[in-house]
Every structure is written in C-alpha cells, then in structure tokens.
Amino acid sequence: MGIRGELFSTRVHSQSEKRTYFFNIKENRNGDIFLNIVESKKHGDTDFERHQIVIFKEDLEAFIRAFQLATDFMKRKPSGNSSDGSGKAPTS
C-alpha cells in the first residue's frame, strides 16, 4: 500500500468569487488513486455549501472524453436551450 491521503491539490476561484473548485488527487486505504472534485459555494459571510464527485483512476479516460464533449458543447452554445429542446448534447 502506498501513501494514504491527499497526493496533489489545486484550486480555481470563479470570476464571481462565490465558488471555489478544488481538484484533489487522493489515495484510499486500499491504494486506489482517485480524483476528488469539490465545489465550495459561499452563502453569506460564514456558511458554505459543498458538493463533490469522485472519479477513480480506472474511469478517468472515459470521464475526460465525456467532459471534453460537454465543455466543447458549452463553448459552441454559451447560453439558452439546445436547438432541439432536449437539453442534451449530441453524442459521438
């Protein structure tokens, strides 16, 4: 078993400074490496709302491909609903 806990961390602040995104690479007690993405959203002066998603190393390539499709779609269509009304991006 390797080193447990956090192996790497970086963060991004939103332009509005109401949200911070953390990208953490961690290792669990079984030695599995995973990406932990956390959104921390500020409410008022002292309260925070947190959401997180975990992506294990074995799923990372598929996650990156889907993430790239989604972000490419957002860049092409920055606002409003999709033209077909479904709200779903085309798959390829």
**Tens digits of per-residue pLDDT, 15-26?**
988 999 999 999
What confidence score (pLDDT) does residue 91 get? 62
Q: Calculate the CA dihedral of residues 9, 71, 67, 35 and round it to 10 degrees.
A: 10
Residues 61-84, mean pLDDT to the nearest whole number: 85
CATH number for region 5-76:
3.10.450.700
What confidence score (pLDDT) does residue 79 get? 73
In the block, residue with structure tokens 């602040």: 13
Whether 92 has a pLDDT exceeding 70, the answer reads no
Instruction: Check: CB of residue 40 under 8 Å from CB of residue 19.
Output: yes
Instruction: Check: CB of residue 82 under 8 Å from CB of residue 88.
Output: yes
When the pLDDT of each residue in the chain is averaged and rounded to a whole number, the result is 87
Neighbours of 7 (CB within 10 A): 13
Whether 80 has a pLDDT exceeding 80, the answer reads no
pLDDT band at 1; cut points 50, 70, 90: very low
Q: Which residues contact 52 (CB under 8 A, 6 or more apart)?
A: 36, 37, 38, 39
Q: What percent of the chain has pLDDT over 70?
A: 80
